[in-house]
Structure 1
Amino acid sequence: MNNTNTLTLEEIQNFEGKYPKQLWYLFLVEMWERFCFYGMRGVLTIFMADQILGLALSDKDANLKYGAIQAFVYAFTFIGGIFADKILGFKKSLLFGGTVMILGNLIIAFSPQEMFYLGITLSIIGTGFFKPNISSMVGELYKEGDSRRDAGFGLFYSGINIGALLGGAVCVYLGTSPDYGWSYAFLSAAIVMVIGLITFILTKKSLGPIGDSPLLNLEPQKRTMREIAVYVGSLISIPLIFIMIKNTDYTDYFMYTIGPLAILFFLYETFKEKDIKAQKKLIAAFVFILFSVIFWAFFEQSGGSLALFAKNNLSHNLFFFDINPNIVNNTSNSLFVIIFSPILGLIWLAMAKKKIEPNTVMKFGLGFLFLAAAFYVFYYTKFFANAEGMTSLNIFTLAYLVITFGELCLSPIGLSIMTKLSPKRLSGMMMGMWFLASAYGQYAAGLLGAGMSSPDENASLVTKLQGYTDGYYQLAIYALIAGTLLIVVSPLIKKLMQEVK
């Protein structure tokens, strides 16, 4: 029996109204963590390409390193998800991950140029333990089949974007301002992560048994030894990740290894599942995961090639305002998500009442079509360029409006569908697989961005404009093909999903 002060899972899931109160707590925790993450992500490439106060890398190397760092962040979410499922539980994973993230940001803030790789290594490990597990806890607030689950993930997703909006603006402003500098950008990320971690510590009791260790039935000494082994193993991996980030050739070897191993582990767990219906759902989830790799490879140009494109080739005029183009690059998507997410939700509800709402697979396909349209608009900026190779920030921002609708068709649904299609015992692993797909998307994004970059650092802005916009045109074509294919095969995937909508 639980003591009188501890909520049971049934009490939590039998909430009245649209949202459980615990969702608001997790919303706040995730908002501050995403401020930290997206603030860091927003300044990574421009910091690494800063020839005076940054790492003084070429545009090509900055893209490759960006892809490697982001790939490791998301690859570690797969590992963190497994450890949470098998040993730590979600709560302890969050506390450990958040603490390591804070330490990593503080190290970079102390000495951005000399300590960057050590600090970013700790941030990678910390995010891996934090990110997949908070999403899994959101899923556990709802009973299976609860129609309010999608609305809950929609609210949770808006928390992600409020944090991303604040982090993207504040960190870029501090990092690029002559009055502050890169140390202040990384310090601000550490401070907000402290706020997020304190929020979780103060509210985690309301989660009851959600996120507790799966080894509670094990004798305490054995459980503690296994938990310590996870912590020590994570810290032992620091030199390995450090080396692979500094030399992106090693990143290639890692990505060629972790993906096949993850697929083998997924297949093992799938065929170990005795329920045939559950097996089919897992296969459907895997199809979504594969297509999400392609989506994120294109979408995540925002932190790599689009950041450098904004830095080099965009004017500072947005309508009647003078603004740093990279603040627009790092915040416009999040702002548009916050504005249009509820509107799109109302559109889906209206279509559902008329029984014409597209199913989840069709929404994924529509996401790719919007993605294709957005990259065509990015390509179209070349026709607004002046003789020096500077082009319109307004058209660039319009492309972000279009890409936002693509994201809204795919990403919030993706988090929800992973929890719907996964057996409870594999929820952490499948959330980790979802983020591992993002890792490969980030990795591919770095390679694609590097391919668009001019190998000559002294190339003219016109040459750089041509290289990036030609690359965006190619991405538009590939996104169009992927979206069309997904829509064509949607009846087959829908059969695998069975009753899941």
Structure 2
Amino acid sequence: MWSSHPRALPFLFFSEMWERFGYYLMIGIFTLYLKDVKTGYGMTEAEAADLYGTFIALVFLTPFLGGLLADRYFGYRKSIIAGGLMMGLGYCLMAIHNTAMLYTSMSLVIVGNGFFKPNISTLLGNVYSTPQHVQQKDEGYNIFYMGINVGAFICNFFGAALYIMLGWGYAFIAAGVGMFIGVIVFLVGTSHYAAYDIKKGVKEGDMSITRITLLILLPSVLAGIVGWMLPGSIFGSDSTDAFIFACLPVLYFYGSLYRKAAPEEKRPIAALLAIFAVVIMFWAVFKQNGSALTTWADRYTDRSLDGTTATVFDQLSLAQTIPFKKDSVALYDQQFRLQKENGIVLTEFNYHPYFRNLPAEKTPAEGSSIKVWATNLSQSINPGWVIILTPLIVALFTWMRKRNAEPSTATKIAWGLFISGLSALVMVGAVYASSNGAEKAGMWWLVASYGVITLGELFLSPMGLSIVSKLSPPHITSLMMGGWFVSTSIGNKLSGVLATMWDNYSDKANYFWLNFALLMAAAAMCFAMLKWLNRIMKEKGL
């Protein structure tokens, strides 16, 4: 696969694979853990979605700062190593069931990702900057992206087995161990990319780190505090208000990069800022895999197992046993959530929520139980599709390139938005097939939806990393890579905002129609800009 590629690629591939193993193991069980009323935090759907959205938003906001510091001061390798160690420690600390420790561990992951994520992507771009490899850059990013998803695929099986057998804490520790392995792999491959770890320094006219701190970071913190403390909630919750307010100085900073850029740099920066804006909608829908789509898998998908399949899953510790009996702990009904929100907790007798929309012929007798596959395994469907489809996409574009018919990177992104929108239509079909959730939907609806959005993802996400590497002025490449992650961050937060609305839609089809409309609008905007974007890329000789 990578015999013709730089020797650095396998090491960066496996470093990122293990880093994503840790991250997606953690994120795959995060909302389930938050909503677990027995050994988790007993949050409601809206509470968990809001915290999830804020968390993954901040995880992808800090690359702005991590990229800047690596570009100018620390270099890429030191930043990647420091970020990986912080993330590994953060995952391990999540094993401690304590609210203060939860927020401490989340903070370590947020800051650590800021140093790791933009800089390993930038380092990969630098490796492909040589004349013999520059034409392989898109292909290299596709292969690198498959490494991300190999880690994301296998991690959920480890996570399910560990939290079923031993509890949530052991699953979080496994995420930390995966991250530490990624750091070790990165260190082993140092000799293959040391020459590409070149600090750009501060260019004349660039804002100093002191000015950035005083004019961008400090205002962001203060604006976030103001947003949090405002009476009521403007955008749905205090955390959302705080996040939006905190983003304003960062957005101002990226605007200032365009205003102060040299004339030959203005158009490429403008093109990147335009792409950052339209892909926000993709992340807003895509990142619902850890919130709304996990809820769909948990409550509305038929996860029952029987026969040999049940035996195999049980032996691999990937099956959960759900008893059909009244639970005196009384933590399952929506009424409990309403009472909790009012500050009142009453003991009730209820069945596990999985049985609410189970067909009568599949409902077990009182006192018996059924086996179901662990909910977080649904998180492996998307990376599984990536592993299957990536070689096909790479082969397609290689074939088209040999015939001078390969679409531009910007064109790929536009088609990625359009294709992703079609995945929402699949979920509309799932809602109708399940009579709006009154019955369980087959798991193949979820598999199909993930398959469609994965195809769109492969046209968009690795191409986004590639186009940033291609169009960015050399002295701010990692900073502009941070800008890609700022747009991801905003989209991630919007995904949480959308997921908090899940319980407000009595007709779940309308929820997915909203997702469809958002992605179609973004695709239309991107197609409208294509001539302009492609002209800028031609000016750069791309």
TM-score, normalisation: structure 2:
0.77
Q: Whole-Å Cα distance in 1 between the matches of residues 260 and 116 of structure 2?
A: 27
Q: 428, 436, 456: which is aligned to 2:478?
A: 428
- Cα offset, 1:249, TM superposition: 4.5
Q: State the percentage of identical aligned residues.
A: 28
Matched, 1:286 2:270: no
Matched with 1:469 is 509
Q: Whole-Å Cα distance in 2 between the matches of residues 344 and 208 of structure 1?
A: 30
Matched with 2:429 is 380
Matched with 1:460 is none
Matched, 1:360 2:348: no
| Cα pair 1:78 1:128 within 8 Å, conserved | yes
Alignment of 1:324-339 (within 5 A): 324=373, 326-339=375-388
- Cα offset, 1:209, TM superposition: 3.4
Partner amino acid for 2:140? G
Q: Whole-Å Cα distance in 2 between the matches of residues 271 and 427 of structure 1?
A: 17
- Cα offset, 1:253, TM superposition: 4.0
- Cα offset, 1:310, TM superposition: 1.1
Q: 235, 240, 248: which is aligned to 1:260?
A: 248
Where 1:187 maps in the other structure, the secondary structure is helix
Matched with 1:142 is 128
Q: 442, 448, 453: which is aligned to 2:492?
A: 442
Matched, 1:491 2:531: yes
Q: 17, 32, 45: which is aligned to 2:31?
A: 45
Partner amino acid for 1:107? L
Q: Whole-Å Cα distance in 1 between the matches of residues 447 and 300 of structure 2?
A: 14
Matched, 1:371 2:420: yes
Matched with 2:329 is none
Q: 387, 391, 397: which is aligned to 2:441?
A: 391
- Cα offset, 1:422, TM superposition: 0.4
CA 1:186 to 1:500, structure 2 compared with 1: closer, same or farther past 3 Å? farther
Matched with 2:289 is 302
- Mark the structure with the bigger radius of gyration: 2
Q: 418, 441, 453: which is aligned to 1:403?
A: 453
CA 1:410 to 1:157, structure 2 compared with 1: closer, same or farther past 3 Å? same
Which structure shows the higher helix fraction?
1
| Cα pair 1:75 1:439 within 8 Å, conserved | yes
- Cα offset, 1:88, TM superposition: 1.3
Stretch deviating more after TM superposition (382-391 or 76-85): 382-391
Matched with 1:65 is 51
Q: Whole-Å Cα distance in 1 between the matches of residues 282 and 6 of structure 2?
A: 31
**What whole-Å deviation, never above 9, does each CA across 1:185-219 have from its counterpart, x for those lacking one?**
10100111111112222322332233355569xxx
Matched with 1:451 is 501
- Unaligned regions of 5+ residues in structure 2, if any? 203-208, 311-371
- Cα offset, 1:48, TM superposition: 0.8
Partner amino acid for 1:375? A
- Unaligned regions of 5+ residues in structure 1, if any? 1-15, 217-224, 455-463
Alignment of 1:12-161 (within 5 A): 18-111=4-97, 115-143=101-129, 146-161=134-149
Stretch deviating more after TM superposition (480-489 or 352-361): 352-361
Matched, 1:163 2:151: yes
**What whole-Å deviation, never above 9, does each CA across 1:156-213 have from its counterpart, x for those lacking one?**
11111111112233224423x1x22100110100111111112222322332233355
- Cα offset, 1:332, TM superposition: 0.9
- Cα offset, 1:468, TM superposition: 3.6
Q: Whole-Å Cα distance in 2 between the matches of residues 334 and 315 of structure 1?
A: 21
Q: Whole-Å Cα distance in 1 between the matches of residues 104 and 123 of structure 2?
A: 30
Partner amino acid for 2:439? G
Where 2:62 maps in the other structure, the secondary structure is helix
CA 1:332 to 1:443, structure 2 compared with 1: closer, same or farther past 3 Å? same
Partner amino acid for 1:282? I
Q: Whole-Å Cα distance in 2 between the matches of residues 249 and 129 of structure 1?
A: 28
Where 1:147 maps in the other structure, the secondary structure is helix
- Cα offset, 1:250, TM superposition: 4.7
- Cα offset, 1:256, TM superposition: 2.4
| Cα pair 2:19 2:151 within 8 Å, conserved | yes
| Cα pair 2:46 2:500 within 8 Å, conserved | yes
**What whole-Å deviation, never above 9, does each CA across 1:144-167 have from its counterpart, x for those lacking one?**
661011121111111111111122
Partner amino acid for 1:441? G
| Cα pair 1:283 1:496 within 8 Å, conserved | no
Where 2:40 maps in the other structure, the secondary structure is coil
Where 2:61 maps in the other structure, the secondary structure is helix
**How many residue pairs end up in the alignment?**
453
CA 1:114 to 1:469, structure 2 compared with 1: closer, same or farther past 3 Å? farther
